[in-house]
Structure formats: C-alpha cells, structure tokens
Chain A
Amino acid sequence: MEAIQNLLMGFAVALTPQNLAFAFLGSVLGTLIGVLPGVGPVAGVAMLIPLTFQMNPTGAIIMLTALFYGTQYGGTITSVLLNVPGEAASAITCLDGYAMAKQGRAGVALSVAAVGSFIGGTVATIALVVAAGPLTRMALQFGPVEFFALITLGLSLLMGLAGQSMLKALMMGIFGLVLAMVGMDPVRGLPRFTFGRMEFMDGIGFVPVIMGLFGLAEILVNTEEKLAQVSVAKMSSLVPGKQEIRDSAGPILRGSVIGTFLGLVPGMTGSAASFLSYIAEKKVSKYPDRFGTGMIEGVAGPETANNAHANGALIPLFTLGIPASPTVAVIMGAFMMHGLIPGPFLFKEHADVAWGVIASFYVGNVILLILNLPLIGIWVKILKIPYGLLFAVIVAFMMVGSYSVSNSTFDILVMVLFGVIGYLLRKLDFPLAPVVLTLILGPLMERSLRTALDMSQGDLGIFLESPIAVVLLSLALLILIAPAFRFFRKKKGILSGEEGV
C-alpha cells in the first residue's frame, strides 16, 4: 500500500510538463543513439550528461534513464533493418530479425519488438516498485563490511562472466580501480596520483574517460575501414498477423521474467539477458531448427528481455546503490554529479526524486511505444546518412561534451588519451565494461574497506563476523576461482587420457 502511495506521488512528479518533456527528449535521443552505428549506450549516456548540468536533478535523471532504455529500442531497428546491432544487447536479434526483413516482414519484427520491449520494461518497473521497500530496508542494515562484500561480489560476477578472458577482465577491473584512486583520498582527504596538477584534484573525470574508452575508441576502430554507406532493408506493414501475435505472447512473457531477474544480478549485461532468452525460446520451441530463418519468437523474446533487463538493472542501483551494468554505472555517476547518492538513503532523503524517476519509467516506456512505431520511417532515413558525415558530428559532440564537464580543454585531452587507450585495449581483446564499473565504484569500495578496517583496528577478521559478508565474499571467491578448478580438471582429464593411451 505504501509503495502504491509513493508511486502515485512519483507520478505527480513525473507527469509535470517539464519532466514529461525530459522523458520525451531522453527517449528520442536514446533511440537515436541506439540507431546510430558506433555510439553504444555507455558512451551515449556519458556524452549527454553535460546536457543535464543546468537541469534540476529529477529532470536530469529522468532524461538520462529514458535515454538508457531508449537505446534498447533503437538498437533493434539497426539489427532488423541492417543486420548490424546498434548496441550489443540487440546482437542476437539480427539472426531472426534480419531474416524476417529479407522476407519482407521487417515491420512486423519491429512492432513486435516494440510491444515486447514495452511489456518487458513495464514488468521490470513493477518489480522495482515491489522490491524497493524490502531491499531498501535490507540495505539500511548494511554497514561498510557488508557493502564492501556486496561490491566485491558484483565485480566478481562481471569478471566471472567474461569466461576465457577472465584474467583480462580482472586486469581491467583493477585498471579502473587505479584510475579511481586519482584525486583526493576519500577517507583522509590527501591528494594521490595527481602529479601536482590541479585538474586531477577532483579525480579523473569519468565522463571524458568513458567517452574516450567507449565512444572515441569505437570511432577510431571504424575509421580504420573505409567509411562505407550501409544498405537498409525495405520496410513493410507494421501489423502482425494473428498467428504472429500468438507466437509472440509466450516469448514476451518469458523474456520479461528472464530480463527482470538478470537485471537484479550485478554484472549481468543486457546481452546476457537477450542471449539467454533466445536459448530459452529455442529450447521450448517445437521447431528449434527453424531459429535463424525468421522466427518471430527469436525477436520477441530477446527484445523483451533486454528492455526488461535495462529497467531491472536499475533496481540494485536504486535500492542498494550498486550499479548492475556499465551503463547503469554511468547513470550512477550522473546521480553523484547532481549531488545525489543512489541507494537506500535516496528513498529517505529524496523520496520525490526516487519515486519521480521510477514513475517516469512507465511514462518513458509509453512514450517509446507511441514514438517508435510511427517514427520508424524517420529512423530509417537517419540510417541512410553517410557514416563519413555522422562520425565528424559525433567527434564534435564528444569534444564539447568533455570540455563542458569543467570548462577545460584538459578534459578533451583526457578523452583523446583514453580514446587511444581504449582503441589499443580493444585490439588486444580486453573487455572494457569492468573499467566503467570499478572507476565509478572505486571510491565507494575503498571507503567501505578502510572504514571497516578502521573499525576493527586493522583486523581482517571483521569480514568474517558478519554472516551476510561471509556469504557474499564466499560467493565472490567461488566465482573467481571456478575457472582455475575447470582448468585443473581439464588438465587432469587430459593427463589421465594420455595415461590411458
């Protein structure tokens, strides 16, 4: 009952003309970013944070979150019409979406994806409303020991999911933490790694770093190739047939549950949600061998799951103050730039902001549903703009975006430097997502660890005194050492096989 009352209060905030306009703007810009090749959601959100500096915090966060889930809608358009995913979470949609487009059913694929995304987003938002109270109450019991354990678990999940490149993911996670050390020590207030430069006193700006690592690096990779024009599949009727509606219902339902659930797990990405949904659909289908040839289930499930994940991933951020994915980590950075700390205290101290933003998720999803279907023609036209023209405008926006963080050309140089670093790291097959999470979570992680050790006068045993921390840290340890076990088991298997020979 309390949650419904709070949500109604949130709607009163979200439905003011100003906040409606921000949700609308965020949805349009998000779809545009999702449509544009070479600008993923992480760089897109970071690039547009400077636009929010003059806004009030509620409006700013409403716009940025709308932008985030807008990218999920936009990514589908390029997957279906170009066979090029606008963002990673829509990659799996290419398989059946593009096959449908080749059969002249692009319109149906896009409309089912839009409806699925709407339902997935709405289910995840309902989950957030339901979970907000209990999770917030639980988080309020957390001290520095439990927070440190929770962050460690989240980071180890992200790195554990990197599979074979776990070593590289770990290296990137620590690289992000080291970057987060630049500036004032969060506990004693002493400068570290500043090289005597005033610009580093407040730390390395996360906006230029993320724009460089994700945005500029992507542009540099694309610049290597000739900047060719892409061919766009033809659009068709948007109205699905009765059979297609029937075939989509189950995948949308399952995609909503998978996406929402995976959104709750720190470290799980939107790509993992859409991929798992695709596998689930293939498993339950009577015709698994037809997947990849234009099955509507292969579009409805993953597209619902990735949007449910996008909204679901905001649950840990709002309730525990822990970002579950790299883009959510950037949104967390935006919260902090506006003087808000996401987590349980947000509901206590800024209830209007927290519930206003949550209510805006419903509003944003409705806007996206209304916007996307009639405007598909416009997005298709945007896709026809030559990349040689688009990339120059994107570079210009990245430069002015970096500059406006602190009105300094130094931040542009930081962005260019991290663009080069990001380009090289991509060439070396390093995953970049851990850098974003640890860069944002670094100060929080260090503060929790050091406060805990201050409390215990340096005794590490404090981490074994809290049952919650023990469980969380044990899970983190299991995730991190599991690949070593697999490696030794495999090696043992090979050796015993050799002995047998």
Chain B
Amino acid sequence: MQRIHQGAALCFTAFSAFVVWESWNLEYYTPLGPGAGFFPLWLGVVMAGLSLIWLVRISGRKGRPKEGLFLPEREGTVRLLSVLGAMLAATLLMDFLGFQSVMFLLLFFLLLIPGRQTIWLTLVVALLGSVGIYHLFGRYLDVQLPKATLVFLAGLGL
C-alpha cells in the first residue's frame, strides 16, 4: 500500500511539474497586470510543494498508510474493467451504430454480465431503456443524439 501511495505522490508531483511547465510558456506578467500564466504557475508550485510534503509524510514510519488491498480481488477487478470497457466501447461506437443501438447493447451487457440479471429481464429493460432514454432526450429535450452512419442501421431509423 505504501508503494502505491508513494507512486500517487510522484504522479501528483509530475502533474504539478507539467502545470508549471505549461504556465511557463504563457505570459506571466503584462504591462496591464498579471498574465494568463500567473495564477496557474503559482498553483503548480504550491501543488508540487504539497505533493512532496505528502511523499515525505507517507515515506516516514508514522505516516505510513494502512495495509490492505488497493485493487479488488480478481472477480471484482474483472467486473470493474468490464463496466469501464463497455462504457468506452459504447462511446466510441456511438457515431457509427447510433445512440439507440449502442444504448441497447450497453444496457444488455451491463445487466447480463456485471448485473447478473435474467436474460428476459435484461432484454426487456435494455429495450425499454434504450428507446425510453432516446425519446426522453431526443424528442422531448431536443438533444441531437447520434444516428447510425451504417446504411443498414440508418435504414431502420436507428
């Protein structure tokens, strides 16, 4: 656990260094007053300082974080990654398959695999959910939801 916390502290330090570097390339001061880089530069400096204090604290004997699992066991990790993977895939496929098809597939997958629902309940909820959300947002709230660019699906009005 301590290693993970130390790694996180180093990530924060690297992030702060990046903020300082980016701000350095912006105007720090102009004849009119502070420039675009003024505030973020100081934020980066303070953040770097705090990250280093944290690193020192957790590396000492007293500030050592509690031992325990950081990531869940295998089954939990698979469930977690399957949810994230499904969301990413749905996002990337949305412009090709259209909102309704993607939402149906996403709900179907989430309900059946990590959600462990029965196939019939999964089918009904996925169908009603995808069509319902499409109509609520697309029709009543005027959100321009993506339509399928694949000819076959576009022909079905999806």
Contacts and interface: CB of A to CB of B under 8 A. Distances in A.
Interface of A: 50-51, 53-54, 167-168, 170-171, 174-175, 177-178, 181, 185, 187-188, 190, 192-193, 219-220, 223-225, 227, 386, 388-389, 391-393, 395-397, 399-400, 403-404, 407, 409, 412-413, 416, 419-420, 424, 427-429, 446, 449-450, 453-454, 457-458
B141 A396 contact: no
A393 B132 CA distance: 11
A395 B145 CA distance: 17
A193 B107 CA distance: 35
A434 to B, nearest CB: 12
Contacts of A227: 114-116
Interface in B108-150: 110-111, 114-117, 121, 125, 129-130, 133, 137, 141-146
Contacts of A178: 19, 40, 43-44, 47
B144 A407 contact: yes
Most buried by B among A53, A54, A224, A424: A224
- Which 7 pairs between the two chains have the least Cβ-Cβ distance? A454-B33, A388-B115, A392-B110, A185-B36, A224-B72, A224-B76, A404-B143
B24 interface: no
A449 B35 CA distance: 11
Contact of A450 (B38, B43, B141): B38
A48 B5 CA distance: 35
11 contacts: A174-B43, A187-B36, A188-B27, A220-B83, A224-B76, A224-B79, A392-B111, A392-B115, A399-B106, A424-B8, A450-B33
Contacts of A224: 72, 76-77, 79-80
Contact of B143 (A50, A168, A428, A454): A50
Contacts of A389: 111, 115, 117, 121, 125
Contacts, number: 165
A416 B87 contact: yes
A170 B49 CA distance: 11
Given A219-B83, A393-B107, A400-B143, 19 more contacts: A51-B141, A53-B142, A54-B142, A174-B50, A187-B34, A187-B36, A190-B36, A192-B40, A227-B115, A388-B116, A388-B117, A389-B125, A392-B107, A395-B87, A395-B110, A396-B129, A409-B91, A409-B94, A453-B33
B145 A403 contact: yes
A171 B29 contact: no
B47 A413 contact: no
B14 interface: no
Given A392-B110, A393-B125, A412-B91, A181 B142 contact: no
Contacts of B77: 224
Given A224-B72, A224-B76, A174 B129 contact: no
Nearest to B92: A409
B107 A396 contact: yes
Contacts of B95: 409
Contact of B90 (A220, A393, A399): A399
B40 A181 contact: yes
Contact of A458 (B29, B72, B103, B145): B29
A420 B85 CA distance: 12
Contacts of A386: 115, 117
A188 B31 CA distance: 12
A450 B29 CA distance: 10
A458 to B, nearest CB: 7
Contacts of B90: 399
Contacts of B156: none
Contacts of A427: 70
Contact of A223 (B40, B76, B94, B107): B76
Most buried by A among B5, B22, B33, B103: B33
Nearest to A405: B143
Nearest to B144: A407
A18 to B, nearest CB: 15
B88 interface: yes
B35 A188 contact: yes
A227 B47 CA distance: 38
B70 to A, nearest CB: 6
B103 A396 contact: yes
A404 B137 contact: yes
A174 B137 contact: no
Contacts of A177: 39, 43
A450 B137 CA distance: 41
A499 B95 CA distance: 72
A457 B146 contact: no
Contacts of A170: 50
A254 B145 CA distance: 50
Given A223-B83, A400-B133, A428 B117 contact: no
A316 B25 CA distance: 37
A320 B125 CA distance: 46
B154 interface: no
A428 B8 contact: yes
A388 B47 contact: no
